[in-house]
Amino acid sequence: MLARTWLHEITDTLQELTTVRDGSEQGVVREHLASQGDPKGNQCVLARMREYAWLSRKWEAARSDEERSRWEVELAGTARDIELWGRPQPSLPWAGTARQPGADAQPDPTNSESLRVRYAAAADEELRAVYVQEREQQLHDYRQRLAEAHPADREAIRQEFAKEWAHLVRRHDAGRFSLRILAYCTEWDPQKGGIAAVNQNLVEGLAAVGHEVFVRVGHEVPPDASGDRIHLIGPRRYDSNRGEQEQLVYDGEDLPSDVDAIIGHSRYSGPQALQVRNQLYPDTPFVQVIHMVTGALARVANRPDLEAEFEGIERRMVAAADMVAGVGPVLENEARRLAATNPGDHFPAVHQIIPGVPFEEQQLLPWDGERTRHLLLVGRADAPQKGPSTPRSWSADCWEKVSTSSSPCAVPLRRPWRK
């Protein structure tokens, strides 16, 4: 028998492998799986999956039928261990091929390589599933703790969650499962709201769970703007006389060589993202994010010509998209409407990005009817489609819609602070 001394110790980080100096090959010493009530149980089954991937590589690299048959015994035992834990038993490397255990024929090298790739990918998929399950459970627990905690304790909970999240990513080596994503947006500005804010939150969320995100923007990018997993890319030749949308058009920028998905936002960056997908990444999935009911702004402005133009742009994006994401339930329905009423039989996947804000305990000031009531309007004050356009109309609207008896309304106008 081959000398087998591969001891896996389940710790808070990754499984540690201990090798010995003697022996021509390393094998596996299996121990009983932890019980399902054991908090280390998930780590144990994770180790078995890594063990299975390692054994598969050994089986494929075996130079003799005798050596291969020994690895087959180990593979079959590890697969049964995984199944006992409640996971689907992995397909054995020789399953579905003409060769069965004990056969004398040597495998075709080309077929062996394809098997190695296939089963390494299958093992990675199992490991990814465990990581995603733990990640979602950790996020669920965090949200529940945050909702139940006193406001004074929430910051400590957030900091604790950040440490736990970073530990989870390290323990699973989550970078192995990461995607490379290219997002198009007119600007990257922490002080901005609207589409820029949605894009930034989406990008930061993707980076937080281990993905690498490249963000193409229509303005100059400072040299130190990029982070560990977020890379900002500006125009190759910036022209201050051109608008940001115009400067998103591809002009030979140094874009990543290979990406797994491309994201565009409504009519503002969707056409430019789709153009670069078709030109440089023809087989890459395209995701279109819808930010407003199509044509609504043009209707507010009483511009039916713009309404037709805007809806035409959005429809072309939806017709080409592999997935359409709406921000909130209303825009999810708008995405479904556009997809269902577009000509042809293409119907992209539709997803809702659920908007959320942390709800804190409200501190309402008492009102005795003598003082002025102050209203906070969250949003842009410089666009008529966002609501009342002047403090005078705000006050009139407040008087009409809010039950304040004879109380006055004060609506101070403050512009957003900028660096």
Domain match, 271 and 383 both: no
Query: Residue 160 falls within a domain, yes or no?
Result: no
Express each pLDDT in 344-398 by its tens digit.
Answer: 888 999 999 887 655 555 566 676 766 676 766 666 655 555 555 555 555 555 5
How many angstroms separate the CA atoms of 102 and 267, rounded? 62
Statement: residue 79 has pLDDT above 90 = no
Domain match, 24 and 120 both: yes
Domain match, 264 and 122 both: no
Rounded (10°) angle between helices 304-320 and 266-280: 40
Domain match, 196 and 121 both: no
Domain match, 292 and 186 both: yes
CATH number for the domain spanning 247: value is 3.40.50.2000
Helix (H) or strand (E) holding 123: helix 109-148
Domain limits at 382? Answer: 364-419
Statement: residue 287 has pLDDT above 70 = yes
Query: What share of the chain in percent tops pLDDT 70?
Result: 61
Q: What's the confidence (pLDDT) of residue 116? A: 60
Query: Average pLDDT over the chain, rounded to whole?
Result: 73
Domain match, 219 and 330 both: yes
Strand partners for 273: none
How many angstroms separate the CA atoms of 115 and 55, rounded? 13
Q: What's the confidence (pLDDT) of residue 273? A: 96
Provide φ and ψ at 412, rounded to 5°: -70, 145
User: What is the per-residue burial (b if ≥16 Cβ within 10 Å, else e) of 26-49?
Assistant: bbbebeebbeeeeeebbbbbbbbb
Query: Residue 101 falls within a domain, yes or no?
Result: yes
Higher-confidence residue of 122 and 238: namely 238
Domain match, 218 and 342 both: yes
Higher-confidence residue of 257 and 42: namely 257
How many angstroms separate the CA atoms of 320 and 322, rounded? 7
Last residue of a domain, one of 328, 353, 378: 353
Query: Residue 162 falls within a domain, yes or no?
Result: no
- Among 57, 40, 161, smallest CA distance to 119 is for 57
Express each pLDDT in 37-47 by its tens digit.
Answer: 444 455 566 66
Those residues whose C-beta lies under 8 Å from the C-beta of residue 419, and which sit 6 or more positions away, are 191
Least confident of 8-22, 51-65, 154-168: 8-22
Domain match, 207 and 272 both: yes
Domain match, 212 and 346 both: yes
Query: Residue 292 falls within a domain, yes or no?
Result: yes
Last residue of a domain, one of 131, 160, 189: 131
Locate all alpha helices (DSSP H) within 149-244, ordered by sequence: 154-171, 194-208
User: Total domain count for the chain?
Assistant: 3
Query: Residue 149 falls within a domain, yes or no?
Result: no
How many angstroms separate the CA atoms of 242 and 140, rounded? 45
Last residue of a domain, one of 131, 158, 192: 131
